[in-house]
Amino acid sequence: MAGRLITLEGIDGAGKSSHLDFIAERIETRGIEVVSTREPGGTAFGERIRTIVLNEKMHGDTETLLMFASRTEQLAEVIMPALARGAWVLCDRFTDSTFAYQCGGRGLSESRIATMEEWVHGNLQPDLTLLFDAPLEVARERLNVAKTSPDKFEREQSDFFSRVRAAYLQRAAQFPHRIKVINSARGLVDIRTCLASLIDSL
Ligand code: TYD
């Protein structure tokens, strides 16, 4: 497989999405095709799942299964074909989100999520995961400024986000070669310098 899969992760308000265009342009200047997408979503069917899962109350298992259902479509329709033709895929959230939110945040079993991960993309892991990390208060403040109508996750209390953040950092410690922690409480110039060097090293 000639392409690369780069995923962006972080708690709500950590600022990951605002860097997506910068990263895409940095790769495109090397003459490489970039496919930008997001999860849940990224396909017509996945976007319908997104609307449901971000807005409706449901059992934690249902939420997890829907995240993986959306991911399965996305892999089949978008990610695998793009990687096969040599494109680089930038995915705003991927399975680390499920470990952080459904396992860390909601307390679901880690081994069940690992089983689904193996089922859905056992032969594929991101080449690079950029974990945007900021203290809870910074992320909450950004969210309050940016969002007029918060979704189901964004309405969670700070102890939920503190568990999600801890789960992310634990995964970064577990997979240090793949997951790079970006301190996103810093200024834009510093963050972009750091992103550029990580992207250029791929
Ligand atoms: P997000 O990516 O933050 O989009 P936006 O910035 O437009 O609000 O929203 C997606 C939400 O879905 C986010 O709160 C995290 C949650 N999520 C999970 O809980 N598990 C998952 O596996 C994924 C992919 C997302």
User: Domain residue spans in the chain?
Assistant: 4-200
Identify the pLDDT of residue 1: 59
Which whole-number Å values give the CA distances from 133 to 94, 111, 139, 177, in the listed order? 16, 25, 9, 17
Name the residue among 50, 53, 142, 139 with its Cα closest to residue 92: 50
Per-residue pLDDT reduced to its tens digit, 125-155: 999 999 999 999 999 988 888 778 899 999 9
Identify the pLDDT of residue 162: 97
CB of 156 shorter than 6 A to ligand 1: no
Report CA(200)–ligand 1 centroid distance (Å).
27
% of the chain with per-residue pLDDT over 90: 92
Name the residue among 186, 187, 180 with its Cα closest to residue 201: 180
Residue 8, strand partner residues: 92, 130
CB of 98 shorter than 6 A to ligand 1: yes
Per-residue pLDDT reduced to its tens digit, 151-177: 999 999 999 999 999 999 999 999 999
CB of 17 shorter than 6 A to ligand 1: yes
Identify the pLDDT of residue 110: 97
Q: Atom 22 of ligand 1 has which residue's CA nearest to it?
A: 98
Name the residue among 68, 22, 199 with its Cα closest to residue 128: 199
Rounded to the nearest 5 degrees, what angle is found at the Cα of 54, between the Cα atoms of 166 and 165? 5
Q: What's the whole-model pTM score? A: 0.97
The closest-lying atom of ligand 1 relative to the alpha carbon of residue 12 is 3
Any idea which residue has 């995923």 for tokens? 7
CATH class of 4-200: alpha beta
Per-residue pLDDT reduced to its tens digit, 64-83: 999 999 999 999 999 999 99
CB of 133 shorter than 6 A to ligand 1: no
Q: 72 in helix, strand or coil? A: helix
Question: Could you tell me if 191 and 10 are in contact, meaning their C-beta atoms sit under 8 angstroms apart?
Answer: no
Crossing angle of helices 60-74 and 44-55, rounded to 10°? 160
Q: Which residue has the higher pLDDT, 1 or 169?
A: 169
